[in-house]
Amino acid sequence: MADEEKGACLSTIVISFLAGAAIGSGLALLFAPKTGREVREQIKDLTDDAVDRIREYARDAQEKIVDTLESGKELVKEKKSIISTAIEAGKEAMEKERERISEEHKA
């Protein structure tokens, strides 16, 4: 479960870093000595690129989270089955021991 939290936290950090980089790049362009049209075009291009990257990283993070949840569900099913089997075996052993003790007291 800790690995899942690390994966989700890491994806949040990456997305935040990319968003910060996009904002920083945009601000740098605003202060660069270019015409307004050139700056607007560069900002639009960078923004489009950043949005695409953020969407891609978000999609990847979502897929990893879903995969992790699915594997976690399978693990829970497996452990539940093992525990159920162990409980049944314990009940059977307890019943046999009761029968053995009961027969010893009768004899």
Query: Whole-angstrom Cα distance, residue 41 to residue 46?
Result: 9
pLDDT digits (tens, 9 = 90+) for 15-69: 787 778 777 777 776 776 777 788 788 778 888 888 888 888 888 888 888 888 8
Q: How many domains does the chain have?
A: 1
Give me the helix-helix angle, 36-106 and 2-30, nearest 10°: 170
Return the pLDDT at 68. Answer: 86
Q: Residue 1 pLDDT more than 50?
A: no
Give the domain range for residue 94.
2-106
pTM for the whole structure: 0.46
More confident residue, 96 or 26: 96
